[in-house]
Amino acid sequence: MADILVFCEVAGGKVKGTARELLGKAKELADGGDVTACLLGSDLGDAADGLGELGADTVIKVEHDALASYVPGAWAAALSQAIEDNNPDVVLGAASVLGKDLLPRAAALLEAGVAADCTDLREGDDGIEGTRSLYSGKALATVSVNSEPKFFSIRPNSFVIGDVEAGDGDVEDFEADLEDDYGYEVVEVESSGGDVIDLTEATRIISGGRSLKSLENFGLFDEPARLMGGAIGASRAAVDAGYATHSMQVGQTGKVVNPQLYIAAGISGAIQHLAGMRTSKVIVAINKDADAPIFQHATYGIVGDLFEVMPMLTEELAKVLSD
Ligand SMILES: Cc1cc2nc3c(=O)[nH]c(=O)nc-3n(C[C@H](O)[C@H](O)[C@H](O)COP(=O)(O)OP(=O)(O)OC[C@H]3O[C@@H](n4cnc5c(N)ncnc54)[C@H](O)[C@@H]3O)c2cc1C
């Protein structure tokens, strides 16, 4: 039994999808212990509503003007204070851009340890332990944290959550004691993706490589991505050639993704690309070279010209998904 606090990110007045999977997993691991959701922001509105149904017994809202934008010092102070007040055994958060920065900072303030970017969690001999992928996914390490609390950041889409036992979802306000100045001011936030689904949180991704040959040809992926509710990614070769933006790059020097479905169209499967998508649950490779390395990692392989295969696949998706 463990008391678990889940840091839930809020965007556009709603908790992000990662909160659902983390709360569901927390409920399973808590095994009768308390599951607490913790939300930070300057105006959280009704973002706390409905978190009980996702498994939260308690929801802590930390609202403060200093939390309007992500200011690391302020957010780390607020989160660590809420954790100290709640005294959980375990703290979970998404290994998102924000989570990867915030959780270690909050842990440092509490002199606690963090296992970052885990892809699984389980009950071990010394309490909850995590799985981390090493050497670009070639090895898996089991990590335990010896501090109290134990912090884990979890790669988005690591867990498939079924029915979750609902918690009470009681909402409590926590007043953080924050300073006026943390030596850091957010002047402007510019979103590069508009309302495009964030690659790191997408459950379905179609990525294209150098073989797409132009920016216009990447448009081939718009319709299937829309039909599947997915995001579009790219190899570095495609980004370097100007066919896609850097925010779409998957791999060692791009984003690490973990979707349920990853379609790699015209991507060779270089080690640096695999580093960003190897943990995808189902990998579909489309490549005209039957010996392309990507096929060694694919769940399903289609040997063929992507310019012929993609329209057929899109037509089939339209049929299946409109039924
Ligand atoms: C330090 C470093 C960091 C790197 N970081 C990254 C990274 O983050 N992400 C990344 O992706 N790469 C990264 N790379 C680059 C990586 O090594 C590869 O060069 C790159 O992934 C290749 O991209 P690609 O598969 O699109 O191109 P290619 O390797 O050129 O492969 C194109 C593939 O398309 C197939 N093809 C061609 N035409 C068609 C068609 N009509 N239909 C179907 N298939 C077709 C070919 O058979 C081939 O397999 C990095 C490299 C270095 C050195």
Q: Which domains does the chain have, with CATH numbers?
A: 4-173 (3.40.50.620), 199-322 (3.40.50.1220)
Q: Is the CB of 226 under 6 A from ligand 1?
A: no
Among residues 17, 52, 65, which one has the least CA distance to residue 231? 17
Does the predicted TM-score (pTM) go above 0.85? Answer: no
Q: Is the CB of 207 under 6 A from ligand 1?
A: no
Please tell me the distance between residue 209's alpha carbon and the centre of ligand 1 in angstroms. Answer: 6
* pLDDT per residue as tens digits for the range 48-88: 999 999 999 999 999 999 999 999 999 999 999 999 999 99
Distance linking the first and last C-alpha atoms of the chain: 44
Separation CA 186–CA 189 (nearest Å)? 7
* pLDDT per residue as tens digits for the range 138-192: 889 999 999 999 999 999 888 877 788 999 999 999 999 999 889 888 898 877 6
pLDDT of residue 195: 62
pLDDT of residue 184: 84
pLDDT of residue 164: 87
Nearest CA to ligand 1 atom 2: 272
Q: Is the CB of 213 under 6 A from ligand 1?
A: no
Q: Are 48 and 19 in contact (CB under 8 A)?
A: no
Q: Which of 217, 287, 308 to mutate to test the pocket of ligand 1 (most atoms within 8 A of CB)?
A: 287
Q: Are 166 and 53 in contact (CB under 8 A)?
A: yes
Separation CA 169–CA 38 (nearest Å)? 11
Q: Is the CB of 252 under 6 A from ligand 1?
A: yes
Please tell me the distance between residue 270's alpha carbon and the centre of ligand 1 in angstroms. Answer: 6
Containing 49, the helix (H) or strand (E) segment is: none
Q: Which of 221, 247, 252 to mutate to test the pocket of ligand 1 (most atoms within 8 A of CB)?
A: 252
Q: Is the CB of 93 under 6 A from ligand 1?
A: no
* pLDDT per residue as tens digits for the range 281-307: 999 999 999 999 999 999 999 999 999
pLDDT of residue 163: 85
Count the alpha carbons within 13 Å of 50 in the hemisphere toward its beta carbon. Answer: 10
Separation CA 11–CA 253 (nearest Å)? 25
Residue 213 exposed, middle or buried by CB count within 10 Å (0-12, 13-18, 19+): middle
* pLDDT per residue as tens digits for the range 188-243: 887 766 667 889 889 999 999 999 999 999 999 999 999 999 999 999 999 999 99
Separation CA 86–CA 68 (nearest Å)? 23
